[in-house]
Chain A
Amino acid sequence: MSTASSTAPWNRSARFTSNPAAREPGAIRWLVIGVALTFFAVFLLLPLLAVFAEALRKGWAAYLAAISAPDALSAMRLTLLAAAVAVPLNLVFGIAAAWAIAKHDFRGKNVLITLIDLPFSVSPVIAGLCYVLVFGAQGWFGPWLAAHGIKIVFAVPGIILATIFVTVPFIARELIPLMQAQGRDEEEAALVLGASGWQTFARVTLPNVKWGLLYGVILCNARAMGEFGAVSVVSGHIRGQTNTMPLQVEILYNEYSFAAAFAVASLLALLALVTLVVKTIIEWRAGAELRPDEAP
């Protein structure tokens, strides 16, 4: 995954195209571009356009009706709720992890970094499954929870937990390399100048990583709102209660309400597009800030 520090690549190709030692013949160049763009169009662009085309197939009225249906609205509410819980928790976690890992030395650091990445390499289905095994009727705490009338799996808490699981690494993995690259000099300088630990963190560390932080939050939020596999396992698929937007898409689709399914999907696709736009802006802003001669 790219990090916030990677600079905008689109205006940097001149040094290659103008260099006779690093330039391909025109025909080859256009062939490569042609292959790249065809691949891009077939696998990325067409599916994206299809979402919006299918969503509007039955006209705007049907579209608006589909996205304002009560079930759709309650799915939106649940999706927003899950993200509203998962993102702040993972934000606190990400900051704590990055502070410990980037600003201190300790044994087992690399193991910890690997463990933080773990949710990325675990199938979302397994993420959901493991909460069923812990909190489900047959699970470790199942009988106790049942006795106390608490429902986690196949209910809203399970959906939130599964969402947190799959989004754990997002913010931490943006912050850790960024804070490692920035070193400890500035924090030490602040301490020498008499700042307390909290002042050092709030006035020096945090402002220095604000773009990376925002970047992580944006990606974390996109995944939190869009997670399907993990949530699907722990959701009871109860309409109007335990359905998130992606689950609602599935239900509508399986009922052959294609236009409605794509209408709800188009909202998620819009979210994805907004995410990409914000992400690109952050890369552009952070890139400008990191290049020494163009600082504000």
Chain B
Amino acid sequence: MSIAVRNIGKSFGSFVALDNVSLEFPTGKLVALLGPSGCGKTTLLRIIAGLEYADRGEVILDGEDASDRHVRERQVGFVFQHYALFRHMSIFENVAFGLRVKPRSQRPPEREIRRRVMELLELVQLGWVADRYPAQLSGGQRQRIALARALAVGPRVLLLDEPFGALDAKVRKELRRWLRNLHDELHITSIFVTHDQDEAIELADQLVVMHKGKVEQTGTPREVYAAPATPFVYGFLGAVNEFRGSIDGDYLRVGTSALPIVGGDVARGQSAVAFARPHELEIITDGGSGQAGIGATIKRIVDIGSIARVELSGAACEEPHLYEVELPSQRLAELNLAAGQPVRLVSSRLRAFAQGERS
């Protein structure tokens, strides 16, 4: 089923949680709502589910305005951050709940309920815990039961609030892969909320990056990572080096140095901020006095595996500034760097944004 929201606005007191948000969620895809805490992502998810009502705007489910539809009638599956399993019911009864509370006329017979529940428990690979209680399961198991319970009613969409937030790192990674496989199997339109960029990039077909109640950028993980639309997205998604200066033609002037820029549409003379990923920076050792590149001193070299990381302190700015460069180990060997050595940094892919945009 397709989901769309139009011009959604929501405030809690004087705090604006969502500011005129419009989005389309494609059918059958897994979409991540990504952003720092307080950016409004959970509120948006709850508004789509009907657990919260927007002050303004519409929620459109399957082309139909569902804004005033009660959560009970929206046929959504919702997985809560802390699972919200019914603590006094067995796992079986938890999963069966949605079927048992149906009006008598629509309620499947007991044998059918039993079959459906066991089928779902098998799907989440937890058939053997049917008679246990939520308190007896591990976090990862509870998460899978919460998902099975949400799927039991045959929801049209699946909404997951920070699905792996309460789990430790190892379980999180396993469950991520498992959820992706499950989605590929079921192809149910799904939206999940997360503040973890790795999780979003690894799991989602589409990203929606949110910040301060607004949508910053949407696109596939590749698009968003490769071409961040705003300084915020640049900073939030992946490691990044930041350069502040003013625009001079195709160059960004930082103090006495100049860096060539590729993207951006900043007017000449305007102060700007530019970004480059650690692997987009190049270290030049010939010490040439040419204007290209920015002066820096090597602080520390971390060389493990095939990729090496070099930390440098910048010299061009008034305040001390740290840079991070990633390069293949082989290249590091060729450069023959040592701590304390003065070098120059250049970038082939520097994108500039007008100053003041960055928050």
Q: Using Cβ atoms and an 8 Å threshold, which residues of chain A touch B354?
A: none
Q: Across the interface, do A188 and B80 meet the contact criterion of CB distance under 8 Å?
A: yes
Q: Across the interface, do B51 and A192 meet the contact criterion of CB distance under 8 Å?
A: yes
Q: Counting CB contacts under 8 A, is A186 at the interface? A: yes
Given that A188-B80, A190-B97, A292-B135 are known contacts, is A196 also in contact with B72, CB under 8 Å in the complex? yes
Q: Using Cβ atoms and an 8 Å threshold, which residues of chain A touch B70?
A: 191
Stretch from B83-91, B171-179, B185-193 contacting the other chain: B83-91
Q: Could you tell me the distance in whole angstroms from the C-beta of B43 to the nearest C-beta in chain A?
A: 14
**Bound complex: CA of A191 vs CA of B150, how far in Å?**
11
Q: Could you tell me the distance in whole angstroms from the C-beta of B11 to the nearest C-beta in chain A?
A: 14
- Nearest CB in chain A to that of B77: its residue: A192
Q: Counting CB contacts under 8 A, is B10 at the interface? A: no
**Bound complex: CA of A296 vs CA of B85, how far in Å?**
15
**Bound complex: CA of A185 vs CA of B83, how far in Å?**
8
Given that A186-B86, A208-B87, A208-B88 are known contacts, is A192 also in contact with B133, CB under 8 Å in the complex? no
Q: Counting CB contacts under 8 A, is B98 at the interface? A: yes
Q: Across the interface, do B136 and A193 meet the contact criterion of CB distance under 8 Å?
A: no
Q: Across the interface, do A207 and B88 meet the contact criterion of CB distance under 8 Å?
A: yes
Q: Could you tell me the distance in whole angstroms from the C-beta of B52 to the nearest C-beta in chain A?
A: 10
Q: Across the interface, do A188 and B135 meet the contact criterion of CB distance under 8 Å?
A: no
**Bound complex: CA of A195 vs CA of B97, how far in Å?**
8
**Bound complex: CA of A203 vs CA of B153, how far in Å?**
17
Q: Counting CB contacts under 8 A, is B53 at the interface? A: no
Q: Across the interface, do B86 and A189 meet the contact criterion of CB distance under 8 Å?
A: yes
Q: Could you tell me the distance in whole angstroms from the C-beta of A260 to the nearest C-beta in chain B?
A: 48
* B81-103 contact mask (Cβ, 8 Å, vs A): 1 or 0: 01011111100000001100110
Q: Across the interface, do B80 and A185 meet the contact criterion of CB distance under 8 Å?
A: yes
Q: Across the interface, do B84 and A189 meet the contact criterion of CB distance under 8 Å?
A: yes
Q: Across the interface, do A194 and B102 meet the contact criterion of CB distance under 8 Å?
A: yes
A-B contacts counted at CB < 8 A amount to 73
Q: Counting CB contacts under 8 A, is A199 at the interface? A: yes
**Bound complex: CA of A203 vs CA of B93, how far in Å?**
11
* B28-51 contact mask (Cβ, 8 Å, vs A): 1 or 0: 000000000000000000000111
Q: Could you tell me the distance in whole angstroms from the C-beta of B113 to the nearest C-beta in chain A?
A: 13
Q: Could you tell me the distance in whole angstroms from the C-beta of B106 to the nearest C-beta in chain A?
A: 9
Q: Could you tell me the distance in whole angstroms from the C-beta of B135 to the nearest C-beta in chain A?
A: 4
**Bound complex: CA of A190 vs CA of B86, how far in Å?**
9
Q: Could you tell me the distance in whole angstroms from the C-beta of A202 to the nearest C-beta in chain B?
A: 10
Partner pick for A296 among B49, B82, B102, B133, CB 8 A cutoff: B133
Q: Across the interface, do A192 and B101 meet the contact criterion of CB distance under 8 Å?
A: no
Partner pick for B135 among A185, A192, A195, A293, CB 8 A cutoff: A293
Q: Across the interface, do A195 and B101 meet the contact criterion of CB distance under 8 Å?
A: yes
- Nearest CB in chain B to that of A187: its residue: B84
Q: Across the interface, do B136 and A185 meet the contact criterion of CB distance under 8 Å?
A: no
- Measured CB to CB, the residues of B under 8 A from A are 49-51, 70-72, 76-78, 80, 82, 84-89, 97-98, 101-102, 133-136, 149-150, 152-153
- Measured CB to CB, the residues of A under 8 A from B are 185-186, 188-196, 199, 203-204, 207-208, 210, 292-293, 295-296
Q: Which 9 A-B pairs have the closest CB atoms?
A: A193-B98, A185-B84, A295-B135, A195-B101, A189-B84, A292-B135, A192-B78, A207-B88, A295-B133
10 A-B pairs in the complex with CB atoms less than 8 angstroms apart: A186-B84, A186-B87, A188-B78, A189-B78, A189-B85, A192-B71, A192-B76, A193-B97, A193-B150, A295-B133
Supplied contacts A196-B101, A208-B88, A292-B135, 20 more A-B pairs, CB within 8 Å: A185-B84, A186-B85, A189-B80, A190-B86, A191-B51, A191-B72, A192-B71, A192-B77, A192-B150, A193-B150, A194-B98, A194-B101, A208-B87, A210-B88, A292-B136, A295-B87, A295-B133, A295-B134, A295-B135, A296-B133
